[in-house]
Amino acid sequence: MTEDNVTKSIEIIKDQLYFAVLQHKIKSTADRHCFCIDDELSYENFYADFGPLNLAMFYRFCCKLTKKLKSFTLAKKKIVFYTCGDQKKQANAAYLIGSYAVMHLQKTPEEAYSLLVSRNSTYLPFRDASFGTCLYNLSILDCLCAIYKALQFGWLDFSRFDVEEYEHYERAENGDFNWIIPGKFLAFSGPHPKSKMENGYPLHAPEAYFPYFRKHNITTIVRLNKKMYDAKRFTDMGFEHHDLFFVDGSTPNDSIVRKFLNICENSDGAIAVHCKGCYMMKHYRLTAAEAIAWMRICRPGSVIGPQQNFVEDNQSRLWSEGDVFREKINEQENGKLAVTRILSGVDDITLNGSNKNRTSEKELYNDDEEMNGVTQGDKLRALKSKRQARASTGSQSWLVAMLLSSLCSLALWWIVYGFPSSILHFCIDGLARSLDSMHVVASDREPVCCEPSGCHRDTVNAGSPVSTGNLPNLNMLQAPQKASPSSTPFSGLNLNLAYSGVTPYQKLELLYCAEPGFPEF
């Protein structure tokens, strides 16, 4: 890195931490340690969207940078975090270092953003995950403000954040859900009539969610999209269930918004999509951009198309309603309301909205496909599932190598330790049959999750009270607990019962990854 490049870099911590936008990769020197995450942390897009990077990636970046800043060997070196990618990579890198400054260096969003633009005047704004023309730009400053508000209200606390659980449940085969407000709002994929594989991605029946919902005090489901399943399957098991239907991809009318907010304010449940955003704006006075940014950081793909303009158009009204609501709450004897509700089919839902001036925008979303059982959320989930499957295509060659290594190790044990031949023959026979049965192509096989990791969305509330005067501190809420190996995947869901046609390859892969007693070679 030349002296000229150092001069042009942005000083984040005096004489210690710098951020630079460069044209090519650089190497560390005797007095500088340089690192880049352009290839390590990469956004997985649905359509034309490219960021911001999700909560797990932000967590991993914070861990990496904090470790470098505390490293004894790097104590006397200047640490340079740089990006040399395209404008999309630059925007994500700036979002990461700016968010780090807000979270760990006590910078305000405005202070952090002013640093970022001091040397690089413009960054590409983020966009939604729809397939149409971009109707709404989300800036890096919006994301920094969202991080700041999440810290302020206790929604973001990395000391209690389980990154492995986040990544586990984010996967389509494990439920495809994420906490938006820990212990209060859970966004999840809308259930289908039965658990099965369809068009290459998994669908989950209502029963698949029961164990997780009960464990995390999720009591109510609010379905906003079309009826894909019988609500009695939830109500018969003690859950509350509400239907507030509107067409996928559009915006809700005032009546549905009022009903939805009333359900949340008078019950114990959880929330999703624009109504989830409406709740955060009404009760926490988030701006529309802050609400959208936080939802996308927690759950990429949230809030698409005209939904973005809808929450912005209703921001002032929701703030006023929130002020009136809090005044009424202050007049009550206890001054608290429990909120714990779940929302089914949330992130991708749409309403026959009241925005008459946006008819041309709604033409981007096709109701015919939803009537045939395909929603915008289903499309996003299909892309997500295929994307995750591609990421794991290397696992088959890994498993072959593992089996061959196991075979060699067993033979060596027999020679050195006098392993009983009957046991050796049994093991060799099992390994041979496993190798012989691996007839599937990685891209065509059904997804099987072997390790803990969090479109059509829903959300959940886990009973956090709304304070009388001040906003509730959600640090007091219990965040989701880490999934144990015995419960993976999907918190009690039996894959053998939920899905048929699991291949021997998948069973062996699942056994090897999940069985704590299996020897490592």
Residues assigned a catalytic role: 275
Cα 456 to Cα 225: distance, rounded to the nearest angstrom? 9
| Burial environment of residue 333 by CB neighbours within 10 A (0 to 12, 13 to 18, 19 or more) | exposed
Q: Which two tokens stand for residue 174?
A: 């494990």
User: CA quadruple 58, 63, 66, 68: dihedral positive or negative?
Assistant: negative
Cα radius of gyration (the chain):
25
**Cβ(95)–Cβ(51) below 8 Å:** yes
> How far is the C-alpha of 435 from the C-alpha of 407, rounded, in Å?
11
CA pair distance 449, 59, nearest whole angstrom: 22
**DSSP symbols for 259-328:** HHHHHHHTSS----HHHHHHHHHHHH---HHHHHHHHHHHSTT-S-THHHHHHHHTHHHHHHHHHHHHHH
343/275 Cα distance (integer angstroms) = 10
Do β-strands 464-466 and 337-339 pair in parallel, antiparallel, or remain unpaired? antiparallel
The secondary structure of residue 436, as a DSSP letter, is: H
Give the Cβ contact number of residue 492 at 10 Å: 15
Tell me the C-alpha distance between 292 and 287, whole Å. 9
Q: Which of 179, 389, 434, 424 is nearest to 302 (CA)?
A: 179
For residue 283, what are the β-bridge partners?
none
From 292, 297, 247, 293, select the one nearest 273 (Cα to Cα).
Answer: 292
The token pair at 384 is 């997500």
- Pairing assessment for the beta strands 220-223 and 32-35 based on DSSP bridges: unpaired
Q: Could you write out the three-class secondary structure of 313-375? A: HCHHHHHHHHHHHHHHHHHCCCCCEEECCEEECCCCCCCCCCCHHHHHHHCCCCHHHHHCCCC
